Amino acid sequence: MINGKNTVVFALGGNAILQTNDRGTLKEQYRNLKETVQHIMPFLMREDVNVVVTHGNGPQVGNALLRSEISKDTIPPHTLDVCGAETQGSIGYMITQTIQEEFYRINIPRVVVSVVTRTLVNTDDPAFQNPTKYIGPFYSEVEAKKLAEERGWIVKEDSGRGFRRVVPSPMPQEIIEYKAIYDLINHGHLVVSTGGGGIPVVKRDQRLEGIEAVIDKDLASAVLATELKARQFIILTGVSRVSINFGKPDEIKLTSLTLEEAQKHLSEGQFPPGSMGPKIASAIKYLEATDGDVLITSSEALFPALKGEDGTWISRG
């Protein structure tokens, strides 16, 4: 416990900021955030818990890289780690503004703080030998090969739509700022952090060095929840419950899972790598290190889920 209260880490899904058919305008992002915050505000305003909110930044980083590429002849392009920092700042600001405005409206004096966060990864992580995470715009084969030669990029064809840059997605080991986040929580503040999984850094010669990689936001959130000894880890996504046999006639929506069952279903391939897989892997990572509980649900179903009427609860069993 921190400050005599249990801590809850909320991992917002990508749909909390951008919906499928959105263009990515600031107006759309604020609209989506306001809707999400209104769904979860009754929880955020509770005085008996500490709250940390984490978020994704995938589309926004993609746009930042695209802007950088379009303007490269006028303005020097930014590296991926710097683009990650930029989007952490901008999205963190928007989330902070949205929550703080709601607090002001209902006369809650709680301060909302956004922390640009770095995440430590191992230099010998196998992901560095096999980059798989597609980022940035599409290129023709000729353009892609030229960029690979000029910038040292690794490029691969992406689903027949063209060539894109690929970067490693190493496992998060530590949230560098977690002690500062702890202190902010201890002073009663609501903290927004670990955006997009944090900016990946490695230790070299007793210093931290930013690298061009992408960290899964839910796995990084699980690390933070573990470091803060959070009592609950809530992962908000686009569906209200986790399913096995998803999209098939025998689909089963799960109300609860034990840690062992989650491990079994994940190993059997029930949860695809690009969607529910990382969320289940994050839940497993957190539960293997704590005695807490994980809830996976949508923002709309949060309160029925907290009463056991919706959502999927995962525990050690």
What's the pLDDT at 285? 96
Residue 27 annotated in active site: no
Query: What confidence tier does 54 reach under pLDDT thresholds 50, 70, 90?
Result: very high
pLDDT at 1: 74
100 class by beta-carbon count within 10 Å (0-12 exposed, 13-18 middle, 19+ buried): middle
Is 133 marked active-site? Answer: yes
C-beta of residue 171 within 8 angstroms of C-beta of residue 95:
no
Report the share of the chain in percent with pLDDT over 70.
100
Q: What is the side-by-side order of every strand in the sheet holding 49-54?
A: 112-114, 190-193, 49-54, 6-11, 232-236, 293-297, 312-315, 256-258
Strands (E), 142-292: 154-157, 163-167, 174-175, 190-193, 199-204, 207-210, 232-236, 242-244, 252-254, 256-258
Q: Examine the pLDDT at 176 and tell me if it is beyond 90.
A: yes
Q: Identity (one letter) of the amino acid at 209?
A: E
Backbone angles phi, psi at 233, to 5 degrees: -125, 110
Residues 44-51, mean pLDDT to the nearest whole number: 92
Residue 27's Cβ-count burial label (10 Å; 0-12, 13-18, 19+) is exposed
pLDDT of residue 275: 82
| Active-site pick, 5, 34, 133, 145 | 133
> Per DSSP, what are the bridge partners of residue 244?
252
The ranges assigned to domains in the chain are 6-117+171-315
Instruction: List the catalytic residue out of 196, 279, 285, 311.
Output: 279
15 flagged as catalytic: yes
For 115-162, the pLDDT digits (tens) are 999 999 999 999 999 998 887 778 889 988 988 888 888 998 887 888
Q: Is the pLDDT of residue 96 over 90?
A: yes
**Which pLDDT score, from 0 to 100, does residue 84 have?**
93
Count H helices, E strands: the chain?
Answer: 9, 17
Q: What is the pLDDT of residue 222?
A: 98
pLDDT of residue 160: 80
Q: How does the average pLDDT of the chain come out, rounded?
A: 92
Tell me the pTM.
0.92
Please state the rounded mean pLDDT for residues 256-276.
91
Give residue 126's pLDDT.
96
Specify which of 54-63, 162-171, 172-181 reaches the highest per-range mean pLDDT: 172-181
Read off the pLDDT of residues 292-317 as tens digits, 9 standing for 90 and up: 999 999 999 999 999 999 999 999 97
Domain 6-117+171-315, CATH: 3.40.1160.10
Helix then strand then coil, % of the chain, to nearest 5: 40, 25, 35
Residue closest to 91 by CA, chosen among 234, 177, 193: 193
Q: Three-state DSSP class for 37?
A: helix
Active site residue 248: no
Catalytic one of 32, 62, 197, 217 = 217
Q: Among this protein's residues, is 238 annotated catalytic? A: no
User: Token pair for residue 217?
Assistant: 């936001």
Residue 22: name the closest of 60, 67, 53 by CA. Answer: 60
The 10s digit of each residue's pLDDT in 208-239 is 999 999 999 999 999 999 999 999 999 999 89
Distances (CA, A) of 72 to 32, 66, 150, 303: 31, 10, 13, 47
Considering the candidates 15, 32, 50, 57, report the single residue annotated as catalytic. 15
Give percent of the chain with pLDDT exceeding 90.
69
Mean pLDDT confidence for 269-291: 92
Residues 193-212 have pLDDT tens digits of 999 999 999 999 889 999 99
